[in-house]
Structure formats: structure tokens, C-alpha cells
Amino acid sequence: MDIITVTPQAAEKAKQLLAKIGKPQGALRVKVTSGGCSGLSYKLEPADEPTPQDAVVETQGIKVFLDKKSLLYLAGTELQYESGLMGSGFKFKNPNAVASCSCGESFTV
């Protein structure tokens, strides 16, 4: 099982956003933090370089940095990008989550 996979749509949107902020060679940092109505929240942000503690995943032409704590929660997760009438954004399909809030921004394992 891969640590994390990224759909082609999510990779393309990430590349566009990184280029827009002047970091076309940048990467995404994915973290799990405490918070949200279900206890744990996803955090997605641009990054230039991994820290020594990061796992680095290259998929769909982008790099994803994951800290060791987050690896416990993200194994097997798929990062998706969805667009629709009610809004657009990155979504996490996490097989480890046993419950999540209705907005999909937080989860419980």
C-alpha cells in the first residue's frame, strides 16, 4: 500500500497553484493536526524542502512531504480534487478514518 496517492486532477491543480504563487518546483506538505469537530484535521500547504523527519512521496509529477506523526493517520490515503456547484477543493479519501464531520475537513481514527 502506498503512503499517499494523488489523483491526476489533484496533481494538476496543485501544479497550477504552486506555479501561481511562484513555486513551480515546489511541493505539497500534508499534515494531520489536532482540531476540527471530529478531533483531527488535514492541513495542506506549499513547501520548498522536506525536513529531515519527512517522508517524501513523488506521484503524478509532484512531491508530497509527510511528517512521521502524520504517516500514522495517512497510510493509504488518496488526495483528490473535486469541483462542483457547491464549491471546489482538495479532498482526502482516508481508509483509516472511522468517522468524519459533514464538511469532510476533520476525522476520527
pLDDT in tens, 51-88: 999 999 999 999 999 999 999 889 999 999 998 877 78
Query: Mean of the per-residue pLDDT values for the chain?
Result: 87
What is the C-alpha to C-alpha distance for residues 73 and 8, in angstroms, rounded to an integer?
22
Residues 48/23, Cβ–Cβ less than 8 Å: yes
Strand partners, 20: none
Segments in the chain forming alpha helices (H): 8-20, 68-74
Write the CB contacts of 107 (distance below 8 Å, at least 6 apart in sequence).
36, 38, 39, 40, 41, 42, 92, 94, 97, 99, 100, 101
List the domains of the chain with CATH numbers: 4-108 (2.60.300.12)
